[in-house]
């Protein structure tokens, strides 16, 4: 079973704001879903790039885990390119 690390814990470990840590968690979860869909559909990075309107090199970088300077917009374009939909849920902090 995979252990999930929350944004607050990542924030403390890396010494970054909770907002930046949460953004990293969200991006990672979305990219994991995109990667699973790409594998299931048998798509190439070039096909995903064309559908997303992004350079293939950008898609390869994002999917290999290079999240610095990657905007949520670009990640969401990948989500859409593989036929997925993202939802956001907000709840009171614990």
Any idea what the CATH number is for the domain that residue 66 is in?
A: 1.10.260
Q: Which of 41, 71, 45, 80 is nearest to 59 (CA)?
A: 45
pTM of the predicted model over 0.85:
no
**Tokens for 8?**
């607050």
Task: Count H helices and E strands in the chain, helices first.
Answer: 5, 0
Q: Is residue 92 part of a domain?
A: no
User: CA separation (Å) from 18 to 15, 25, 26, 71, 92?
Assistant: 9, 10, 12, 17, 15
Q: Is residue 68 part of a domain?
A: yes
Domain that holds residue 56: 7-81
- pLDDT per residue over 29-82, tens digit each? 999 999 999 999 999 999 999 999 999 999 999 998 877 778 999 999 999 999
How many residues appear in the chain? 94
C-alpha 58/C-alpha 77 separation (Å) is 12
**Tokens for 63?**
């999917």
Place of tokens 């798509």: 43
Q: Is residue 76 part of a domain?
A: yes
Given a cut of 80, whether residue 16 has pLDDT beyond it is no
Number of domains in the chain: 1
Q: Is residue 73 part of a domain?
A: yes
Task: Please report the pLDDT score of residue 8 as a whole number.
Answer: 72
Task: Please report the pLDDT score of residue 5 as a whole number.
Answer: 59
Given a cut of 60, whether residue 2 has pLDDT beyond it is no
């Amino acid at each position: 079973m995979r252990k999930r690390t929350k944004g607050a814990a990542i924030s403390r470990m890396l010494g970054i704001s909770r907002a930046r840590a949460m953004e990293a968690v969200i991006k990672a979860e979305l990219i994991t879903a995109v990667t699973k869909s790409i594998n299931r559909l048998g798509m190439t990075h070039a096909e995903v790039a064309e559908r997303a309107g992004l350079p293939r090199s950008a898609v390869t970088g994002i999917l290999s885990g290079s999240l610095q300077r990657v905007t949520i917009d670009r990640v969401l374009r990948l989500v859409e390119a593989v036929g997925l939909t993202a939802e956001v849920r907000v709840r009171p902090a614990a």
